[in-house]
Structure 1
Amino acid sequence: MKTTAASLALAGLLAFTAAGCAVTREQSTVGQYVDDATITTRVKAKFAEDSTVSAMAISVETLKGVVQLSGFAKSSAERSKAEDLARGTPGVVNIKNDIVVKP
């Protein structure tokens, strides 16, 4: 009987801990976290497929559908193309383009 109670207590603690770790700061639900991760992955995939955008030099972060781009571009055309690709991704609410063009 004690083993069952201890097992239930441990299972409850693990479930509570896992749920607490799944969502990051300022995100309201696990579903929103998954949606944001999906958007980030889609944007990065578009960068990898495009020959003008360096997927390695530009970082993508998503929070509640707002995509933040950062890193360095070789030209203003690359910076603009990265923003256009991100804007055309399903689920994107807004773009914050912090990409710096290298002199």
Structure 2
Amino acid sequence: MTLAERFMRFLCGCALLALVACAPTPQREGTGEYIDDTVITAKVKAALVADPDLKATQINVETFKGRVQLSGFVPAADIARAVALVRKIEGVKDVKNDMVPRN
């Protein structure tokens, strides 16, 4: 085996390792899923800010594999409105409501 063949095999092995390392698992997102979730989070935050009746700065948004988690201390009247608004956004698979009503 020549030096060039060894080098090519080494490069192919590194490329294969890089592809496997980026593969998604149930606990970890793949690169494409991470980008998709970032876009969904941005859409959710924009929709919350665009609604004049919601206090969007009090709502925290996290997305994992299309599932959006809302959290924060929010007026009780805003919780159902925020969840309904987020469910309408394209790409959202599920909404987990961890918002706590405050007086």
Q: SS at 1:72's partner residue?
A: strand
Who wins on radius of gyration, i.e. which is larger? 2
Gaps spanning 5+ residues in structure 1: where? 1-11
Q: How many residues align?
A: 88
| Separation (CA, whole Å) in 2 of partners of 1:94 and 1:31 | 19
Q: Check whether the contact 1:83–1:95 (CA below 8 A) recurs between aligned residues.
A: yes
Give 4+ residue runs of structure 1 displaced > 2 Å after superposition.
25-28
Gaps spanning 5+ residues in structure 2: where? 1-13
TM-score by length of 2: 0.72
RMSD (Å) for aligned C-alpha atoms: 2.5
Q: Is 2:92 aligned against 1:92?
A: yes
Q: Shift of the alpha carbon at 1:77?
A: 2.2
| Separation (CA, whole Å) in 2 of partners of 1:50 and 1:27 | 32
Match for residue 73 of structure 2?
Answer: 72
Q: Check whether the contact 2:29–2:64 (CA below 8 A) recurs between aligned residues.
A: no
TM-score by length of 1: 0.72
Q: Check whether the contact 1:27–1:33 (CA below 8 A) recurs between aligned residues.
A: no
